[in-house]
Amino acid sequence: MMAQYPVHFTVDRVPVQVHETREGAGAAAAMRAARALRETIARKGAARILLASAPSQDEMLMELTAAGGIDWSRVTAFHMDEYVGLGPDHPASFRNYLQQHFLSRVRPAAFHAIQGGVQDPEAECRRYAALLAEAPIDLACMGIGENGHIAFNDPSEADFEDPQAVKVVELDKACREQQIHDGLFSDIVSVPRLAISITCPMLLSVLVIVCVVPGPLKSGAICGTLQAPVSSACPATILRRHSNASIFLDARSASFLPSRL
């Protein structure tokens, strides 16, 4: 894509911004998320947020946690997924990621962690679903996987009509390979096969979605997300049906998109 940055366009219901760098995309996504948090706290007195845990979120979380005017003591935070079998101190656990990139920088009213190391993952799904159901989730900050997954809803697991809010999923090969690309594991044998994840309907119930997707390894997934028919073959396509979702890209993740967009 050759353009004067930032580029703005809309696909179905979703506004898309393309920035020259991943830092620019992250900063723009953080600005949108911060505005949503300020508005929600001003209107309701509190906010509930759902966070993804991946290197794609690094720049956004850095800017969001540094943003002014957010009373974090009124924010309750959740995360989207966690590996089954990993404790919170494992370097690749998503709780460890959020400790480094979020909780070390701000003090929310509460952070509810998915306990991936429990003996009964199905019971943990029920526990976490009950916490999520206590009140609407106001904001989700998320990415898109190399195979088009959202949270850990790979094409083989994604169900847009899923009756569950949280479930145990089996990660497909492309998803497990992405964890190596992200530097979380040294080889695919080390990547857990199972995870606990929120489902597609749970994510789509969130009031505001801010999705930031940088890097060349995401360019194919972005093409699918914005151009393929809406289906579980590319789970992220369902974002185009959300009433208040925004997608932020960098030049490399947008590099396969046609110029007509």
Instruction: Provide the H-helix boundaries in the chain.
Output: 22-44, 58-66, 94-98, 121-132, 173-181, 200-204, 219-227
**Is the pLDDT assigned to residue 165 strictly greater than 70?**
yes
Q: Residue 225 falls within a domain, yes or no? A: yes
Give burial (CB, 10 Å; 0-12/13-18/19+) of 230.
Answer: middle
Q: What CA–CA distance (Å, rounded) separates 197 from 78? A: 12
Q: How many CB atoms are located within 10 Å of the residue 164 CB? A: 15
| Domain span including residue 155 | 8-250
The rounded mean pLDDT for the chain is 96
pLDDT at 1 over 50: no
Q: What's the CA gap between 182 and 90, in Å, rounded?
A: 15
pLDDT at 70 exceeding the cut of 70: yes
At residue 146, does pLDDT exceed 80? yes
261 assigned to some structural domain: no
**Number of domains, the chain:** 1
Q: At what angle do helices 58-66 and 22-44 cross, to 10 degrees?
A: 40
**Token pair for residue 20?**
């020259």
The answer, yes or no, to whether residue 121 has pLDDT greater than 90, is yes
Question: How far apart are the C-alpha atoms of 150 and 74, rounded to whole Å?
Answer: 27
pLDDT digits (tens, 9 = 90+) for 74-91: 999 999 999 999 988 899
Residue 51 pLDDT:
98
Q: Is residue 35 part of a domain?
A: yes
**Burial of 144 by CB count in 10 Å (0-12 exposed, 13-18 middle, 19+ buried)?**
buried
What's the whole-number mean pLDDT along residues 88-102? 93
- Asked, for residue 233, whether it belongs to a domain, the answer is yes
Residue 258 lies in a domain: no
Any idea which residue has 């966690």 for tokens? 82
User: What per-residue confidence (pLDDT) applies to 260?
Assistant: 74
Structure confidence at residue 87 (pLDDT): 87
CATH number at residue 147: 3.40.50.1360
- 257 lies in a domain? no
Question: Within a 10 A sphere around the Cβ of 211, how many other Cβ atoms?
Answer: 26
Residue 64 falls inside a structural domain? yes
Cis upstream peptide for 155 (omega within 30°): no
User: What does the block give as tokens for 122?
Assistant: 């199905």
Please provide residue 236's backbone torsions phi and psi, each rounded to the nearest 5 degrees: -65, -15
Position 107 in a domain: yes
DSSP per residue, 90-133: STT-HHHHHIIIIITT---SEEE---TT-S-HHHHHHHHHHHHT
What gap in Å lies between CA 93 and CA 22, rounded to an integer? Answer: 23
